[in-house]
Every structure is written in C-alpha cells, then in structure tokens.
Amino acid sequence: MTLSPDRATVGPRDGGPTATHCPYCALQCAQQLVRAEGPVPVEVQARDFPTNRGGMCQKGWSAAEVLTAPDRLTTPLVRRDGELVPATWDEALDLVHARLEGIRDEHGPEAVAVFGGGGLTNEKAYTLGKLARVVLRTPYIDYNGRFCMSSAAAAANRTLGVDRGLAFPVTDLGGAEAVLLVGSNPAETMPPLVQHLAGARSHGGLVVVDPRRSATARLTEHGAGTHLAPVPGSDLVVLLALTHVLVDEALVDADYLAERTTGWEDVLATVSRWWPERAEAVCGVPADTLRRTARRLAAAAPVHGGGGAFVLTGRGMEQSAHGTDTVSAAITLALALGLPGRRGSGYGPLTGQGNGQGGREHGLKSDQLPGYRLIADPAAREHVAGVWGVDPGSLPGPGVPAVELLARLGTEGGPRALLVHGANVVVSAPNVGRVREALGRLDLLVVSDVVPSETARMADVVLPVAQWAEEEGTMTNLEGRVVRRRRATDPPGDARDELWVLSELARRFGHDLSADAREVFDELARASAGGKADYSGITYDRLDAGEALYWPCPADRPAGTPRMFEHGFATADGRARLVAVDHRDPADDVTGDRPLFLTTGRVLHHYQSGAQTRRVAELVDAAPEPFAELSPLLADTLGVAEGDLVRVVSARGALELRARVTSAIRPDTVFVPFHWAGALSANLLTSDATDPVSGMPEFKVCAVSVERVAARNARPVLEEVHA
C-alpha cells in the first residue's frame, strides 16, 4: 500500500501505476494498477483513501482476473440459425440499427426499451439515458439500481428533499458513540467500512438489526453492542417501537423537531400505537431490548450531550413491498434523535453498486433526467433539452420501473426490443422464471457485456465492451463523492469502449453522441447545472489534481458539499417533512403450506449475479455454490443434517441446494444467497411484488416450505443450468 492521494499518476504509457477505484461496490476502494508481466495485464494494489484506508476485500484484490476471463467477450456476436456466432462491429451495429428501425417503424418508439446498470460510469449512464430519450425517443428506460436503492431514494426525497446516499463522508462514522445498522451487513458487503465502526463498538453502541447473526451482527459481541433479530419484513415495527420509547421516556430532541421538521404530530399518532410489548408480538424482538436500544441511541445523541449517533439502512429492510415506508420510519427515528445535519451524527443508506448513485443522477431511472431532475417537470425538460439541442416537446415522458418494464416486454403494446447495458436480469430480477419468459417474447434482445452473462446468452446480438481498468470515467461513491476511473490497459480483441459503442449506434440513427469520456463529463456537468445533483463545478482537471469533490458542486460553489443539511433540508421551507407510516404484512406472507420466511442476500466472495466473480478461481474456491441457511431447530424438525440436499419451494418456483445448519438464523427463516444462475438462482423463488412508491421488489421476504431431498454425498457439486 502506498499513501497516494486521488491524483492522476504517471500513467501506463510510462510504466507508472494508474490510480483508480475498484470495479465493484459503492465503497469504491482506491486502487492502483501496476503493469504486470504474465497473462493478467495489471496487478491490483490497494491505495490509501479516506473510505478504505488502504483496505480492500477479496473481490477487489482479485478484480484483474476478470480482465482475462477465459470466456471474456472479445468480438461482437450475432445469432444465426439459433447460434451466437462472431461478427464484425459493422455487421453487428448495422443489424441492431436496421432491426430497431424496423420495429420502430411498425410499432412506434415505445416498442424499444433500454435497461441500464449501476456499475456503469457516470459518462456511460448519461449517454445511455440520452440515447434512450433523444435517439430512440422511448420512455422505456430503467436500471438495476431500481432493485437496489429505490426505496431509500424515495424516502429520502419525500422527507429530506434529496437523495445522495450518505449525506456525510464515511469517516464521520468514526467519532460516533452509537451506530444503528438496519438490514445491512457491511462486514461482508463493504468490509473496509467496518473500521469506521470501531468508535461505536468501543462505546458498546453498535446496534445491528438482522434476522441472521451476520458477520456484522457478530461485531456487536463482547460488549460492543446489541444484535436485534426481528422477523423478516418487520423492521418498520422495530423502528416505530424505538421511536415510541424515545417519546415515552422524553428522550426526543424536541427543539430540533420543532425547528427543523414538520409533521411530527401526525407521526406521533402511529408511533404511540407501537409500545414495545405490542411490537415484540409482531417483530419478535424482546420489549426490554427495544427499550435498552432506544436509550442507548439517545445517550449518544447530541441533545443528551452524547458524542454522536448514526442511523444507517441497507437492503435488508429496504427490499420490501413497504420499503419506502420502512426507510421513512428510520429517518423519523434519526430526526427524533436530532441527528441529520449535525456534525458527527446523521442518517443515510449504505448504497450498493459502484455507481448506483450516479446512474440515477444522470438519467437511468425511468422518471429522471440528468442532474436528478424529474422528466415530468417542464422546467427540467426545457433545461436538459437545451443542452441536448432538441425541442423539449420531443422528449418522452416518464417510463415505468424495472419490474414493470420487464413484465411488459413482448406483451400487447409493450416493448418488442430491449437493449441491456450492465445488468444480468435473468439472474438478479425477482421471480426470474417470469423474466426469462418475457425476454423470450422479444423480437430483439441486444446485450452489451464484458462476459457472456446468462442474459447475454439469450441475446440476438452481443456487444463486447471494455471494463473498468480499460476505460476512463467517473463514479459517484456511497457518500456522493465523485471519483475517477482511469484506463491502465487495453481491452482484449475487438472489445470496444462502451461510449464508442453507444456513439456508433447513435450515428447510424443520424445523431452525434460523443465517445470521449472527458467531453461527455463536461456535457453532463452542464446538463446537471441547477439540478439537485449539480456537478457543474466538477471537472476532470480538478479530480485529477486530487480534489475531494462531493455534489452538489455548482460552478458558483466549487468547494462542493461534503456534508449536507447543516443549514436546512432540501425542501421548500428547509424543514424535513415527516411522513406517518404503519406496518403492513409482506405481500407473500407465510401460510400453513409455506410456513417459513425466505430471505436472500450476499456472501463476501461473490458480487451480485456472479457474472464477474464466478469467473475468478479463488472466489469460486472460497464460495463454490449456494446454500440454504437453516437453524438447528428447523433442521431437526425437517430431519435435515448439515450438507443435505434440500428443496426450497415458493409459490413461484423451487430450488435444490445444500443445507447449512447454523444457530445464526431465526428458526422461522431460511437464507439463500442470490449469486448463482440457472437452476441455482434464488430468484426462482422470490416475489415480484413491489413497493407502491418506489417500485422496489420484495427480495427480502417471501413464504417457502423446505423439504429434505437427499443425503450429503448424493451430489458432489450442484450444477447451474444456463437459461
């Protein structure tokens, strides 16, 4: 590890290291890439940076392996007689253009849809959004960030007036005496972040809410904090009960609520109904634990002279059909404690994908234009159309969220062609059986990827693109800081920079989109000017000089905004708008036939659909196949022993996997990670019920039954069957 700032370094041409960031999650750990002799062109080294402080997880360390994956896509592929066969770029792009033109002529622009990904750089996300709105003129664009951040975003927007992930630098966590983590497992999903929890742990103030005793929950052991293990899908009750105790014991920050919020009276009505004993009956967390936890959080709050507290949320509570309301309850708790906007305290979601944040800020979400503007807002349309040099009236209106978009594919009046950039929907979307059928109904599926993902294998045309270490761009990390991705090596074979691919496609439609990352960024900055996510004061030169720039960073306030809300919230009157919310049962609740809760999530060694990490030998060795976590009590009831093959059945599908018997899970709950494909995809089981506000699917809870299929040694390896 070297102590280098985020400056552009000498660069690969001179043989020096290239300063960049990890290809995977939103922590965006700083790396430097050094030219290597041997099959893998670069060696990854960790670099010091405030978020990771020289740390990385194994995915980051091994990221360079994906550059030379044995089946890396190195040439365009076109389906002929049922087989994907190599083609030239002209053949592939001419074909895509001709087919899209034909479909549009026959069915109109709404017959074409675009699906993006939160791993795309800001420049690519912006260009893909512009391609959809200006070139294809379709309202149908959304992205896999809908599966990830949408409930946290919706709740933050409605209460705080803006959604930036964390409203403060991650390093602020270090000084806190208490950190409440609801449904987040950073010890496996952002390991270097754990070092910022040391302060809270030393004060005994780390509180982890998770139905499993996750690696993060174990950090509360030995007096470092408390683990609350609620019934899946019941977090709203936990949060209302914690707030109830604050009210009941006069621990709220009354001055803060009076000066900085509206709506407290409405909230009180529901909060008062969830006294701890009633909450316990629903969420299973003992009333005493709820009381102690609320007092612990209050003691750390500034109003009681504490050293600071944070409320942080993760997918565990957000990926629910009432996720927006649950996040609202978390924000209410944070506001009742007087945390947001106070130095050393705060609220925020830990975001997910490398650029899940930037993806929606620059136009991948169905209802948003660059700068986090709403596409339905006439002033926003006029501004962005001005930058794009088009008539505002020519821009499409809002589309539909991802789950609905996928469901409409190939239906009467729905899209007949789909372009996918940076998502593996046949693994990661909820209820994938239905998604596979939907893709099968299309007239044309075009997938841009770096490897033959399960979605790419279904495509009519596959476009091989450069990845991470082979491209220039920017990413926006979990704290709203813009960081540079820099090119250290060339893409293999005929794989091309994705901006070039988008630009070449647009050219065939008679449009000029830049393929130069710096030029695209400058245009993006102008398009964002005056919007919520204002990047107009940010330039490559400033980032390359090592400046730490957090949005909003307007040209006239070029220092940017590391900490938001210090002087007010981003609402019309500067006050947070509290929203009264109440508990609802999950959409697919347990029954006599399906008496167990299934919850899904991540393991340390794999990333998302596994398209990248299932191609890295050391990660596959560490985590070769999925499993079903069951408690010893449940295993005993079902006659299941460690390693036995079990069948997990939901209303949508069934999955056979190996049982992992562990006391680290509630007896009424089964956990399955979702990183595997085909017959091993957890999403064969999950429900595609969505949150009415955010469109977030309910990945974290559905009803299942479990039965024993065979003994431990019956099948040595579980096989994925590719879709």
Contacting positions for ligand SF4 (CB under 6 A): 22, 24-25, 27-29, 52, 56-57, 59-60, 190-192
Q: Select the span of 29-37, 88-96, 99-107, 206-214 touching ligand MGD (CB under 6 A).
A: 206-214
Q: What tokens appear for 72 in the block? A: 């890396």
Q: Which does 56 bind (CB under 5 to 8 A by kind): Mo ion, ligand SF4, ligand MGD, none?
A: ligand SF4
Q: What tokens appear for 438 in the block? A: 């939907």
Determine the number of helices (DSSP H) and then strands (DSSP E) in the chain: 23, 27
Helix (H, G, I), strand (E, B) or coil at 668: coil
Separation between Cα atoms, residue 505 and residue 600, nearest integer Å: 38
Minimum CB distance to ligand SF4, residue 24 (Å): 3
Minimum CB distance to ligand SF4, residue 475 (Å): 10
Minimum CB distance to ligand MGD, residue 674 (Å): 4
Asked if 358 touches Mo ion (CB under 5 A), the answer is no
Asked if 324 touches ligand MGD (CB under 6 A), the answer is no
Asked if 188 touches ligand MGD (CB under 6 A), the answer is yes
Per-residue x/- track, 123-162, Mo ion (CB under 5 A): -------------------------x--------------
Helix (H, G, I), strand (E, B) or coil at 416: coil
Q: Which does 602 bind (CB under 5 to 8 A by kind): ligand MGD, Mo ion, ligand SF4, none?
A: ligand MGD
CA 351 from chain centre, in angstroms, equals 6
The strand pair at 18-21 and 373-374 is best described as unpaired
Separation between Cα atoms, residue 202 and residue 178, nearest integer Å: 9
Q: Select the span of 41-49, 98-106, 320-328, 349-357 touching Mo ion (CB under 5 A).
A: 349-357
C-beta closer to ligand MGD: residue 6 or 498? 498
Asked if 701 touches ligand MGD (CB under 6 A), the answer is yes
Asked if 134 touches ligand MGD (CB under 6 A), the answer is no
Asked if 673 touches Mo ion (CB under 5 A), the answer is no
Asked if 148 touches ligand MGD (CB under 6 A), the answer is yes
Q: Which does 233 bind (CB under 5 to 8 A by kind): ligand SF4, ligand MGD, Mo ion, none?
A: ligand MGD
Binding-site member from 56, 93, 182, 224 for ligand MGD (CB under 6 A): 182
Q: Which does 28 bind (CB under 5 to 8 A by kind): ligand SF4, Mo ion, ligand MGD, none?
A: ligand SF4
Minimum CB distance to ligand SF4, residue 354 (Å): 7
Q: List residues bridging with 114 in a β-sheet.
A: 141, 419
Separation between Cα atoms, residue 138 and residue 146, nearest integer Å: 18
Q: List residues bridging with 179 in a β-sheet.
A: 206, 310
For residues 285 and 293, the answer to whether their CB atoms sit within 8 Å is: no
HEC readout, 283-324? HCCCHHHHHHHHHHHHHHCHHHCCCCEEEEECHHHHCCCCHH
- Nearest in space to 686 (alpha carbons), one of 678, 674, 668: 674
For residues 450 and 66, the answer to whether their CB atoms sit within 8 Å is: yes
Minimum CB distance to ligand MGD, residue 684 (Å): 10
Asked if 371 touches Mo ion (CB under 5 A), the answer is no
Separation between Cα atoms, residue 315 and residue 698, nearest integer Å: 10
Looking at residues 545 to 604 of the shown chain, list those that interact with Mo ion (rule: CB under 5 A): none
Site residue total, ligand MGD (CB under 6 A): 64
Q: What tokens appear for 57 in the block? A: 């997880």
The 10 Å CB-count burial string (b at 16+, else e) for 310-348 is bbbbbbbbbbbbbbbbbbbbbbbbbbbbbbbbbebbbbb
Report the 10 Å Cβ neighbour count for 131: 23
Provide the binding-site residues for ligand MGD, judged by CB under 6 A: 25, 117-120, 144, 147-148, 182-186, 188-190, 209-212, 214, 232-233, 235, 314-317, 319, 352-353, 421-424, 427-428, 448-451, 453, 465, 467, 498, 599-602, 604, 606-609, 611-612, 671, 674, 682-683, 686, 699-701
Provide the binding-site residues for Mo ion, judged by CB under 5 A: 148, 352
